[in-house]
Amino acid sequence: MTNITRLHHALPLSPAINNAVKELDGAIAKAIDAAKAAGLPQGLVVSILHGHAHAQTLSMIKS
């Protein structure tokens, strides 16, 4: 996996990007907590997140 670039090491990220990442992480954590509280099985939560990750990866590859 030598073709992977870590953004934090490649260039300084703007405060706007850092804030967006922080907000995204918080929103995902909140959604996971809400799903668990509603009684969704952990495997379903993981599979939904995994599916979204695959969809985003496909979108990046096609661009």
pLDDT given at position 7: 60
Number of domains in the chain: 1
Band the pLDDT of 12: cuts 50, 70, 90: confident
53 within some domain: yes
57 lies in which domain range? 39-63
27 within some domain: no
pLDDT digits (tens, 9 = 90+) for 23-55: 999 999 999 999 999 999 999 999 999 999 999
> What token pair was written down for 59?
């979108």
Band the pLDDT of 60: cuts 50, 70, 90: confident
63 within some domain: yes
Q: How far, in Å, are 5, 25, 61 from residue 32 at the CA level? A: 28, 11, 27
The pTM (predicted TM-score) of the whole model is 0.71
Rounded to the nearest angstrom, the gap between the alpha carbon of residue 41 and the centroid of all alpha carbons in its chain is 20
pLDDT given at position 18: 85
Number of helical (H) and strand (E) elements in the chain, helices listed first: 3, 0
